[in-house]
Amino acid sequence: MQTNIEGKVALVTGSNRGIGRALVEALLERGATKVYATARNKDSLQELVENYGDRIVPLTLDVTKAEEVNATAQTAGDVQVVISNAGFAENIDIFIEDLSVARQEMEVNYWGTLNVARAFVPVLESNGGGAIINISSIAGLVNFPMFPTYSDSKAAVHSLTQGIRLIKGGSVQVVGVYPGPVDTDMAADLEMDKATPQSVAVSILNAVEAGKDEVFPDPVAEGFSGPYEAGTKTLEKQTAEMLAASS
C-alpha cells in the first residue's frame, strides 16, 4: 500500500519545531492541500501560518490527553495522512534520578501515539484509506544508555506500530520511522554528525509514496536497516508457521 501526498489533507503532531515542522513544510511543498499543524501551544505555530496562509490549520493539542485527541479527530474529519511526531526525551540515570521523567516519556511517546492511532485510524478508514506514520527511533531498536527510558518508550512505539499494521494494514498504510541523530533541539547536546530535519522529512515522504512500511531516513539509521529487515523476515516466517500449525 502506498499514499501519494499531492492533493491530500494531512495532520502532524508536534509541528512547531524540528522534524514536525519540517514535515509540515515538506507536505505542503509536495502538494498537500491542507495541513492541520498541532502543538501544545498554538501560538508557536504562528510562523507557519504566516508562511503558508490558510493551507495551515493550527490546532492546540496535547497528545497525552485522549479527550483532546478525540476532539481533534472530529475537527480534522477530512484528514488522509496522519503523522505522530510529538515526542519527549531526557538524559537520565535510571539508578539515581527521579523516574517521573520516564513516565512523561512514556506518556508522550507511547500513549500519545496510541491515542492518535485510536482516534484517527477510523477517520482514515472512513475517508477511503490513507496513511498513519509513527515516528519511533533507532533507539527503539537498540537501547541508547544515555537515553535509556526514552529508548524504552520508542521501543513501545515500534511494537505498537507493528500491532496496528497487523490489525489495520489491509485498509490503511502503517509506517514506522526510525531516525538516527537529527539536528533538533532534542539532540542539541549530542556531539555527533546529525541529519537535518528537512532531509529526514523528505526521506519519510518518499518512503510513504513508495509504499514502504519502515523508514530509516538518514545515514546512521540506514546502518540499522539491513539487520532489522533480516530479523523481521525471520520473525514473520516463524509467526506464519506457528499460525499454520495452530489452525
Instruction: Give the pLDDT confidence of 82-128 residue by residue, as tens digits.
Output: 999 999 998 888 888 889 999 999 999 999 999 999 999 999 999 99
Distance CA 198, CA 29 (A): 12
Average pLDDT of the chain to the nearest whole number: 91
Per-residue confidence (pLDDT) for residue 44, from 0 to 100: 96
Q: Are 158 and 139 in contact (CB under 8 A)?
A: no
Question: Where is pLDDT greater, at 238 or 180?
Answer: 180
Long-range contacts of 190-193 (CB under 8 A, 24+ apart): 193/219, 193/220
Q: Are 15 and 21 in contact (CB under 8 A)?
A: yes
| pLDDT bucket at 243, cuts 50 / 70 / 90 | low
Q: Which residues are CB-contacts of 131 (< 8 A; sequence separation ≥ 6)?
A: 3, 80, 81, 82, 124, 172, 173, 174, 175, 208
| pLDDT bucket at 236, cuts 50 / 70 / 90 | low
For residue 236, the Cα-to-chain-centroid distance in whole angstroms is 23
Question: For residue 176, what are the β-bridge partners?
Answer: 134, 214
Per-residue confidence (pLDDT) for residue 231, from 0 to 100: 60
Q: 18 — alpha (psi -120 to 50), left (phi > 0) or beta?
A: left
The model carries a pTM of 0.89
Query: What percent of the chain lies above the pLDDT cut of 70?
Result: 87
Per-residue confidence (pLDDT) for residue 96, from 0 to 100: 85
Per-residue confidence (pLDDT) for residue 184, from 0 to 100: 63
Per-residue confidence (pLDDT) for residue 50, from 0 to 100: 96
pLDDT, tens digit, 9 for 90 and up, residues 44-74:
999 999 999 999 999 999 999 999 999 999 9
Terminal Cα distance for the chain, rounded = 27
Taking residues 164-172, what's their average pLDDT? Answer: 96
| All structural domains of the chain | 9-246 (3.40.50.720)
Residues with active-site annotation: 150
Q: Which of 8, 29, 40 is nearest to 133 (CA)?
A: 8
Helix axes 18-29, 197-210, angle to 10 degrees: 50
Q: Which residues are CB-contacts of 62 (< 8 A; sequence separation ≥ 6)?
A: 40, 68
Per-residue confidence (pLDDT) for residue 237, from 0 to 100: 64
